[in-house]
Amino acid sequence: MSSPSVSGLLSETEQTVPPVDSGLSPKVVPRQVALSTDNLVDSILLPDGSRIARPKFQANKELYKRLPPHLLLADGTPNYLPMLLTSAVYSILPPTGTPLTPAVSLSARLGAQVLFKREDLTPVFSFKLRGAYNMMKQLSDEERWRGVVACSAGNHAQGVALSGRELGIACTIVMPLNTPSIKYLNVDRLGAKVVLHGADFDEAKKECARLAQAHGLTIIPPFDDPYVIAGQGTAGVEILRQTDASKLDAIFVPVGGGGLLAGILAYVKAIAPPHVKVIGVETHDADCLAQTLKAGQRMTLNEVGLFADGTAVRQMGEESVRVCANLVDEIILVSNDELCAAIKDVFEDTRSVPEPSGALSVAGMKKYIHQNNLLGRNKRFVSVVSGANINFSRLRFIAERAELGEGKEASLRVIIPEQPGAFLALHTIIHPRAVTEFVYRYSSSARAFIYLSFYLSSSSSRPPASGIATPTGTSTPILTPQQARQEELGSILSQLKNGGMKALDLSENEMAKSHARYLVGGRSKVENERVFRFEFPERPGALRKFLEAMKFNISLFHYRNHGGDVGKILAGIQVPPSETEAFEAWLQSLAYPFVEETDNQVYKDFLDQDDEEE
């Protein structure tokens, strides 16, 4: 049984705090960077499109005390190649490691050869087992007898616990007091002693250090140790054994503390042909490596976003930064919406649901393809799906945001005249596109404010329908998915304007997506208003049929497609006493189930005007 990640808690991280969101999703920066050996090997491409000389970071040789002389280079730093090739991880993993599987559906949509490195299929559903086991295998008899301690509330904790059980080493895992029971019970099930201590991760980390000092326990770090890096890097060894490196264009790796990226870099850059790129992927709100490389010194972020909690690290390890700065080709940043779309992509090809950090490399690969106009170019890419310890309660948010991250869904604020027929006129412009959300509340007699979401005909993830345009112009130029989306949305906005409606694109407005969509309208005193819940089969044209049948003035309207087989509408309808009989006949003619909610206390408290205000 896996241990899901939980919003507000961190796995494999230290010193993290809740994020402050700017309210707007970052914009994509178009770039043209060819996949070729012409790119300078002594430089790194940053997310903003700038190329910098590789910064140099001083080695902390205190981290190498455990290494024997034959595993050190002439400069005293680790010789990772033999460490990777002699790693002990295959005592706990199958001899072939984790599979490298083709992503058939995603490959077809992108016009590329996409392969998933399935680290979510380890016994603890994460790559973290590799590093923990490899380091613990190196412990002396006395260190094994004394035991080990680690501080983690996620994947690293499970990796240490399972490694301890297999190696017969007593393990203590320190977790914050607010760790969900499903997490600490799972670690306990694996045989480790769980110590719940402190209100947050910083306090738990201090207790971990105290226990290590008091009882002579060995601390097993999540990333900043040569043996941990070498263990995690065995995923890269397997990748080059499982695919033809001469035909491989790039490997995409998620970045948190940097151990996985450093380990994969150490092997791939020593063995693979020089054209094979290794690209690190971070989120916009946890871009520790990108900022560190740009500053030329190891940075500590003031705050990090916790959606991708497995990579939400304020400061990377000293050794992992040193290796990454020496070898990484490029860093890409992605948004949470792009992460949600990538989770959906992995699910559609594997029927497995990765955690947000687990899908980070897939989101980065997709962004790289779009930025560099590689749709339909048949490039071969590997994305490391690093983990699948996801909290089930997160799936609702992921499903909600995946279509926006994919660029398939658009959200608009539309101002229309407050008059009969205006709703239908608005829907006519959107039709036949599928409407996913329609929210309105009466506010004035002159105009109505609508929050509207719908699927676009264009998609941000599909290859060109025909050949790439030639420089001579002998074939019709193919629009990129972003261009096709902008063109379609621009046409819709123009039609709305010509129809006397004012529209604003809210697709990138974080406040609208997270909050305002649920707060549209509020209280309003509407004369002769009656409120009803309607249900109808969720099929194409059903919403339009409802609007076409409407013969009365609408004062409140809420519809959201939740993916079910039944569509649900909450509608306020103005019914003057003189029209009551005609209205009742109209209700019966609809042939849709309905419930009147005019006397519902929730309607009176939140949507009707407060009588005490009058």
Question: Would you put residue 31 in left (φ > 0), alpha (ψ -120 to 50) or beta?
Answer: beta
The residue to which tokens 């850059």 are assigned: 269
The residue to which tokens 């991708």 are assigned: 308
Q: Work out whether strand 148-151 and strand 218-219 pair parallel, antiparallel, or are unpaired.
A: parallel
Cα–Cα distance for residue pair 435/579, rounded to 1 Å: 30
3-state secondary structure of 488: helix
Which one is catalytic: 5, 163, 320, 386?
Answer: 386
Cα–Cα distance for residue pair 73/70, rounded to 1 Å: 8
Token reading at 183? 């997490």
* 259 neighbors 253 (Cβ within 8 angstroms): no
Is residue 61 annotated as a catalytic residue, yes or no? no
* Half-sphere exposure of residue 488: CA atoms within 13 angstroms, side-chain side: 21
* Half-sphere exposure of residue 221: CA atoms within 13 angstroms, side-chain side: 17
| Amino acid (1-letter code) at residue 198 | G
* Half-sphere exposure of residue 271: CA atoms within 13 angstroms, side-chain side: 22
CB contact burial 545-556 (16+ within 10 A = b; e otherwise): ebbeebebbbbb
* 573 neighbors 552 (Cβ within 8 angstroms): yes
| Amino acid (1-letter code) at residue 310 | G
* Half-sphere exposure of residue 302: CA atoms within 13 angstroms, side-chain side: 3
Is residue 152 annotated as a catalytic residue, yes or no? no
Q: Residue 133, class by beta-carbon neighbours within 10 Å (0-12 exposed, 13-18 middle, 19+ buried)?
A: buried
Q: Which residues pair with 505 in a beta bridge?
A: 412
Token reading at 541? 């044209």
* 249 neighbors 215 (Cβ within 8 angstroms): no
Q: 432: cis peptide before it, omega within 30°?
A: yes
Crossing angle, helix 288-295 and helix 318-327, to 10 degrees? 70
Token reading at 402? 């995946």
Count how many residues are written for the chain.
614
The closest of 149, 171, 323, 161 to 219, measured between CA atoms, is: 149
Other beta carbons within 10 Å of 195: 17
Token reading at 442? 């009466």
Cα–Cα distance for residue pair 497/494, rounded to 1 Å: 5
Spatial CB neighbours of 599, under 8 Å, sequence gap ≥ 6: none
DSSP for residue 388: -
Which one is catalytic: 117, 128, 277, 513?
Answer: 128
Cα–Cα distance for residue pair 12/158, rounded to 1 Å: 10
The residue to which tokens 């719940």 are assigned: 196
The residues annotated as belonging to the active site are 128, 386
